[in-house]
Amino acid sequence: MPTRKVALVTGATGGLGTDMCKKLHDDGYTVCGNYRSEEKAEKWQSKMAADGYTFHLYQADVADFDQVGSMVAAIEKDHGIINVLINNAGITRDGSFRKMTREQWDDVMNSNLGSVFNCCRHTINQMVEQGYGRIINISSVNAQRAQFGQVNYASAKAGMHGFTKTLAIETASKGITINTISPGYIATDMVMAVAENVRDQIVSGIPVGRMGGTGEIAHLVSFLASEQAGFITGANYAINGGQHMF
């Protein structure tokens, strides 16, 4: 039976990634965090260390297949096979479709969906060989409903769950589960930095009357990453305060 103790979180230094890393650390994992900006990562790591968290950082553009391969190889050399993969990294390049450039489309598709292929492709065989794995893909409520100006983002995030379901079927008999989480509006630093009247307008459209917390997403990640969640695969968990139901 493998020791299930190594977790990789992409986009680790953002609001969601930070709480995911903390929760997995508290759960007993060796947490490896992926990042792109070295300056931001160094400050983040220092702050986390001051809070009592030890994370191992690895730089890679997850949209680049070869960079991801090098990152995974380094993690395996340092810590062993990755047991839990959280595909959390993503970007936005919003704009109405009539004005959207090919670059805006490609950037979002490569970073948000191509990255999922890259990270899964470089880890899935090792998970199969050890007979265990947990993959959690972070999508969005806007993959399930329409959102003006996000043809690229919604397409990539919706594609993420199609990817999840199909790979879940291919690996279900191998001790591997693959699931999607689709958050609604979460009170990250980026969201809270927008004008108060804009935030109020957002909250007015959420039936529970507030934005979600990053810790609430991390709690769901923790559950799906656990051994006890072994009968759940190919699922999409909506966590949006009732903003979109289906």
Average pLDDT per 10 consecutive residues for the chain, totaling 246 residues: 82 96 98 93 96 97 98 98 97 94 97 98 98 97 91 97 98 98 90 85 95 97 97 98 91
Q: Both tokens of residue 107?
A: 């950037």
First to last CA, the chain: 39
pTM for the whole structure: 0.96
Active site includes 153?
A: yes
Which pLDDT score is estimated for 22?
Answer: 98
**In whole angstroms, what is the distance from residue 226 CA to residue 8 CA?**
14
Which pLDDT score is estimated for 3?
Answer: 64
Which pLDDT score is estimated for 2?
Answer: 55
237 forms bridges with which residues in the sheet?
181
Choice among 35, 153, 185, 237 that is catalytic:
153
Cβ contact 74:34 at 8 Å:
no
20 forms bridges with which residues in the sheet?
none
Q: Which domains does the chain have, with CATH numbers?
A: 6-239 (3.40.50.720)
Which pLDDT score is estimated for 192?
Answer: 83
Strand order in the sheet with 30-35: 56-59, 30-35, 6-9, 84-87, 133-138, 176-183, 236-239
